[in-house]
Structure 1
Amino acid sequence: MLAVAAPSTLTPLRVANLAKTYGGGRGVSDVSFSVTRGSITGFIGVNGAGKSTTLKAIVGLIAPDSGVIELFGRPASFAARSRLGFLPEERGLAPRERARDAIAFHAQLKGMSREAAYRRADALLERIGLSGRARARIGELSKGNAQRVQILCAIAHDPALLILDEPFSGLDPIAQAEVQSLFSEFRSQGGAILFSTHSMVVAERLCDHVVIISDGRTAFEGAVAEATTHAPYGVYVTINDDAALLEIVQALGGEAQPFPSKMSDALRWRVLLPRTVPVPALMRALAERELAVHGFEPIQADLEGAFWTLAGQRAAA
């Protein structure tokens, strides 16, 4: 079983109006969100949106220009950061270091005794199915197994809050499932997790909350179910008669956006409808005009659709 640092009723992490600008102009300008105890929060944004900058500021690798970072109800400090586990975007384990030694070393860095650190390393390697590779050097491991060892290094000292930058990068589906199980167990014992990811599927399946960042600012913070309500509502239609489709969509109060690729002579459209108009109403209107419809697929109300809507609204603001 995983062990988690002594529970606290205080909010593990609060970020308010965080700003950090680099010489080239990149960084963040207004990031705010909270991570609650016993939760998994996905941190989502395109490359360059400011995810890594925010995570590095939280763990103290860079100093923000302005804003507030609170850990466990107090301003971030060295003592508070000792209760964090961090997986950076840039992986840094030495290739000749052995897996067991690497995990124990990271535990000792945060104050564990040598004996306790090695017991912890052995337990974690067994938990994730790598006990047989405990003496293997990092450079001898597959990319996925090396990534799993790095994740174990982040949790070796029983942190109360995990800050993870793309933890599923390089993991095959089986390894992803094992790590997700590890995270769920960590959360069930009161630990909190904030992780950045490009996988909307993983975020939707694993997270309680999501924070969407766009152009250096928070575009959305809230429950996954709430985020998905912002997904576009409508249908993908593939049809020959573009003019007729546009006429029908306009009559229904919607809008149609063409895709560049064609199937034969038919063009695929993304049709966005008012939420008061049921999708079958569009199908009936097309049938009444006796139009040849080659494809008709309702748009899924998922996190990916919501992300592009919310991020686009933030970028346009």
Structure 2
Amino acid sequence: MLQAGPPADLAPLRVTNLAKTYAGGRGITDVSFTVARGSIAGFIGVNGAGKSTTLKAIMGLVSHDRGGIELFGRPASFEARKRLGFLPEERGLAPRERARDAIAFHARLKGLPRKAAYLRADALLERIGLADRTRARVGELSKGNAQRVQILCAIAHEPDLLILDEPFSGLDPIAQAEVQSLFSEYRAKGGAILFSTHSMAVAERLCDQVVILSGGRTVFEGAVAEATTHAPHGVYVTINDDAALLEIVRDLGGEAQAFPSKMGDAMRWRVLLPRNVPYPALMRAMAERELAVHGFEPIQADLEGAFWTLAGYQAAA
């Protein structure tokens, strides 16, 4: 049940210099961030950046080698974790389990009485448009509906902090909108959310702050608006003549970074230009060389544009 919460200066979650190394050398080396009460924080990074490892460490599912995790102003403990809701990377509902029973079971695990747990399950299913599927087995549901039931399992006991690993995976646009609305209502009641995502658009639309990981380290923590100021000035270009493009970009004082794979016979490039060189200058130079341009898209001053600069990658994946 959502409690009165910690004093305003005590964040629901504070991670400091967290490190965890696996036998193969992967893991996290220096992750630090804070999630404030009543906020939604997006956790962003490419596959292997360390997002899932960090979330599992917060939940106590993996031990960490160094650093600290504070929940509600105190070192993380079993009792404090009862106030968390968790959606793991690996979805784990039994296919023959009924949707209503699954949600009520998770609520009862965190202390709700049986009757209250079932009432809560019914209310949540109705809230997201699944009131007619309460008796449906998880295995009978679509992938998107099964994902929504899993999210409801995490939120069923009204936790103070939600830790969600890719909550929008498998959801169609309508389901995404319903879940986003549910999260907004939860935040309005004082709850905090930390969720990992590959969708920059969702993070930009929903989050108050973002935490960006790269190579197992925090490389940015702050407001979404602050992150977007790091977006580079440039364009995405798809072209057949790589050598000519590189020559043009060099003459303009910019740099070009190739994407890992081709689009047919054409290569897609991320072209970064000096701030004083407008996009049309690049287009004019390619037209003068009579180059066949298959794609020309300015890099937006948004979170996706900023991510690659902040994460320090040489080319977008």
Q: Residues 3-23 of structure 1, C-alpha deviation per residue, up to 9 Å, x if partnerless?
A: 743233221100001011112
Cross-structure match for 1:173: 173
Q: Residues 204-256 of structure 1, C-alpha deviation per residue, up to 9 Å, x if partnerless?
A: 22111111111111121111222222222112456788777655544443223
Question: Is structure 2 residue 40 aligned with structure 1 residue 6?
Answer: no
CA–CA distance in structure 2, aligned partners of residues 63 and 238 of structure 1: 45
- Return the letter of the residue paired with 1:105: F
Question: Is structure 2 residue 149 aligned with structure 1 residue 149?
Answer: yes
CA–CA distance in structure 2, aligned partners of residues 87 and 33 of structure 1: 20
- Return the letter of the residue paired with 1:36: A
- Return the letter of the residue paired with 1:223: A
Q: Secondary structure at the match of 1:310?
A: helix
- Count of paired positions: 311
Cross-structure match for 1:16: 16
Distance 1:309 1:140, change over 3 A: same
Q: Residues 144-173 of structure 1, C-alpha deviation per residue, up to 9 Å, x if partnerless?
A: 111111111101111110000111122122
Contact 2:89/2:166 (8 A) holds in 1: yes
CA drift at 1:107: 1.0
**Where does 1:252-291 land on structure 2 (aligned, <5 Å)?**
252-257=252-257, 261=262, 269-283=269-283
Contact 2:257/2:314 (8 A) holds in 1: no
Q: Percent identity?
A: 80
Distance 1:239 1:81, change over 3 A: closer
Q: Residues 35-94 of structure 1, C-alpha deviation per residue, up to 9 Å, x if partnerless?
A: 111111111112222111110110111111110101111111112111100011111112
Cross-structure match for 1:298: 298
Distance 1:257 1:189, change over 3 A: same
* TM-score normalised over the length of structure 1: 0.88
- Return the letter of the residue paired with 2:154: A
**Where does 1:242-253 land on structure 2 (aligned, <5 Å)?**
246=246, 249-253=249-253
Mean Cα displacement is larger for which, 69-78 or 169-178? 169-178
Cross-structure match for 2:37: 37
Contact 1:212/1:221 (8 A) holds in 2: yes
CA–CA distance in structure 2, aligned partners of residues 240 and 145 of structure 1: 43
Q: RMSD across aligned C-alpha pairs, in angstroms?
A: 2.7
Cross-structure match for 2:108: 108
Question: Is structure 2 residue 25 aligned with structure 1 residue 25?
Answer: yes
CA drift at 1:302: 2.4
Distance 1:98 1:245, change over 3 A: closer
Contact 1:4/1:186 (8 A) holds in 2: no
Q: Secondary structure at the match of 1:300?
A: coil
Q: Secondary structure at the match of 2:181?
A: helix
Mean Cα displacement is larger for which, 248-257 or 104-113? 248-257
Mean Cα displacement is larger for which, 39-48 or 229-238? 229-238
Contact 1:43/1:197 (8 A) holds in 2: yes
Instruction: Give the unaligned 5+ runs of structure 1.
Output: none
**Where does 1:229-240 land on structure 2 (aligned, <5 Å)?**
229-237=229-237
- Return the letter of the residue paired with 2:45: G
Cross-structure match for 2:87: 87
**Where does 1:127-142 land on structure 2 (aligned, <5 Å)?**
127-142=127-142
Cross-structure match for 1:163: 163
- Return the letter of the residue paired with 1:183: F
Contact 1:214/1:314 (8 A) holds in 2: no
Distance 1:116 1:314, change over 3 A: farther
